[in-house]
Amino acid sequence: MLDLTCEAVEYLARYYPGLLTSCSAAANDAQNPDLLSQPGCEFAPVIIWSKAQSVIQTAAVRRLLIYAAIALLARVAVADDDGWTLVRSNDGIDTFVNEQRDDGFREFRGVTTMAATFEEARDVIKDIPGNVHWLPSCRRAELVRYISETELLVYMVSRAPWPITDRDCVWKRIYAVDTDDHFLMKFIADHAEFEGEEGLVRILKGRGVWEVKRFDATTSTVSFQYIGDGGGNVPRGFVNTSTRSIPEKTLRALHQRILALRAN
C-alpha cells in the first residue's frame, strides 16, 4: 500500500486538485465527514489518505492515486551533498529542507533574488527595532547587550497561534561577514538571563542564518535559514509543518518592508 507523507499530499493538492475532490467525495459517500476536520496537517485530505483503504472503494479513484504517486516520485528532488532538498518553488523563492538530524526537527532554508540593493536588504535585517514591522509573528525586538561590533544579544517576542502561548527568546546575533558586497549574520538562542515578559515560553534551542550578496547594482541574492525547538509541549510534527513556510514568508516580508521604506 502506498504511504505518502504530509508533503506528498500538499503536492497532490497543488497539482491534482481533482484527485482530492474525488477522495473527499468518497469520504462523504462512506459517511465519514469527520475525516475532513481532524487536525494534524496543513491539508485535511491527508487524513483521508491515511484511511484510504476503508474509505476509497472505486477502481477509478485508486488508479488516480497510483498515477499521482508515480508523478510525485518522478518530481522528488535529489538531496545535495549537504542534505538539502528542494521542496517548493514559488514566486521566485526556493525553499529547501534538510532532514539529516537525530532530534526529529527539520531545518529549512529559503533563497531568492530580489529587486533590492545590497544595502537595502542588509540594513533592514540589521535594524533590530524595525524587525517588528516585517518579521512574521514578531511583536517585540530590542537590544539587550552590546558585546562587540560583531556580537549582540537581542530579545524578541513572537506571537503564537491560539491556543499556543507566545514565545520569547534571547538571540545572539553574530555578524560573521559584513563587507561591501557580502553580509552573513548567524543567530543562536542564548541562555543569557533576561527577565523578559511574564507568562511566555522561552525558546532555548534554535539557530539560523541570514545571508545577503550583491548580485548587481539594483539586485541582491538573499537567503534565510532556520531550525528550532519551539519549547513547551508542542509536537515536533506541528513545529516542522508550521516552520516549513517561514523562509518563504520571511523573504517575501523582507522585500515588502524594503518597498515600504522606499515609498516613505
Provide the CATH number for the domain around residue 248: 3.30.530.20
pLDDT recorded at residue 101: 59
pLDDT recorded at residue 264: 87
Number of domains in the chain: 2
Is this model's pTM higher than 0.75 or not? no
Say if residue 200 is in the same domain as residue 257: yes
Mean pLDDT in consecutive groups of 10 residues from the start of the chain, 264 residues: 43 47 43 43 39 46 49 46 84 88 76 98 98 96 96 95 90 97 96 88 92 98 88 59 78 97 94
Measured distance CA(11)–CA(49) in Å, rounded: 13
Measured distance CA(50)–CA(197) in Å, rounded: 42
Say if residue 163 is in the same domain as residue 103: yes
Measured distance CA(30)–CA(20) in Å, rounded: 15
pLDDT recorded at residue 213: 98
Measured distance CA(148)–CA(75) in Å, rounded: 47
The domain in which residue 35 lies consists of 6-75
pLDDT recorded at residue 99: 75
Does the residue 1 lie in any domain? no
